[in-house]
């Protein structure tokens, strides 16, 4: 039988899956930059790589929005949005807060700031991604 805590865990792991896909953008871009000259532009691998990068770019904001919806669902299942403070709840709120902030920061950088974005923006966006990762590890190891 599926019970409430299974759903809580499942939604948590779905958020982690979305986080991995969001963070994967860094790996993809870094790989592409490092190997741009070496890659055979006519190879099937290159064609797939370009396709995956285009999809990752298009989906990036939506993965973030889906994660926000899942964070709300997960935190509601886990706590009923009661502020009873135990370690799991505190680390959950911290992780959720960082995550939602980076989504907001992403939208601001993407839709509101003038292009080209200032250099510090990507540094903040990346650093926040690392902090979210650490925060998730702490949260799930409580
Ligand atoms: C934002 C990203 C978040 C991720 C990726 C995440 C992920 C997870 C995962 C995978 C679990 C299951 C851990 C396990 O069974 O060992 C969990 C448990 C939990 N989460 Fe989150 N969570 C997040 C945010 C939140 C938020 C915002 C809250 C709300 C306060 C929250 C509250 C909890 C609680 C209370 C548990 C413990 C449930 C229990 O074992 O009794 N989480 N989380
Ligand atoms: C918590 C959610 C998010 C995470 C973890 C995340 C993570 C990342 C990472 C790792 C990169 C690659 C950085 C680099 O190249 O060094 C990136 C790039 C970027 N993100 Fe996010 N992101 C999130 C949400 C969003 C949202 C919601 C938006 C916009 C609506 C957004 C907009 C961008 C833009 C414009 C770039 C740089 C341009 C590009 O790579 O094409 N991000 N993000």
Q: Look at the pTM and tell me if it is higher than 0.75.
A: yes
pLDDT value of residue 142: 84
Atom of ligand 2 at shortest range from CA of 26: 12
Q: Alpha carbon of 126 to those of 4, 11, 105: distances in Å?
A: 34, 24, 11
| Residue carrying the six token digits 């919806």 | 69
Q: Is the pLDDT of residue 2 over 90?
A: no
Calculate mean pLDDT across residues 35-53.
94
Supply the mean pLDDT for the chain: 94
Q: From the CA of 117, which ligand is nearest? A: 2
Q: Ligand 1 pocket, 92 CB below 6 A?
A: yes
Q: Is the CB of 13 inside a 6 Å radius of any atom of ligand 1?
A: yes
Q: What is the pLDDT of residues 92-129, one digit of tens each?
A: 999 999 999 999 999 999 999 999 999 999 999 999 99
Nearest listed ligand to the Cα of residue 86: 1
Do residues 32 and 53 make contact, with C-beta atoms less than 8 angstroms apart?
yes
Rounded (10°) CA dihedral 18, 23, 25, 28: -110
Give me the percent of the chain exceeding a pLDDT of 70: 99
The rounded Å distance from CA 107 to ligand 2 centre is 9
Q: Considering only 3-7, 24-28, 66-70, which range has the smallest mean pLDDT?
A: 3-7
């Amino acid at each position: 039988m599926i019970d409430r805590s299974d759903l809580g865990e499942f939604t948590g792991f779905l958020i982690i899956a979305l986080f991995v896909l969001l963070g994967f953008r860094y790996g993809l871009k870094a790989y592409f930059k490092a190997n741009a000259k070496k890659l055979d532009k006519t190879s099937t691998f290159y064609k797939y790589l370009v396709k995956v990068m285009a999809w990752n770019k298009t989906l990036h904001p939506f993965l973030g929005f889906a994660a926000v919806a899942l964070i709300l669902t997960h935190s509601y299942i886990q706590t009923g949005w009661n502020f009873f403070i135990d370690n799991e709840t505190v680390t959950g709120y911290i992780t959720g807060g960082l995550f939602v902030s980076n989504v907001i920061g992403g939208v601001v950088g993407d839709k509101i700031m003038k292009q080209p974005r200032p250099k510090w923006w990507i540094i903040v966006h990346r650093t926040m991604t690392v902090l979210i990762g650490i925060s998730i590890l702490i949260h799930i190891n409580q």
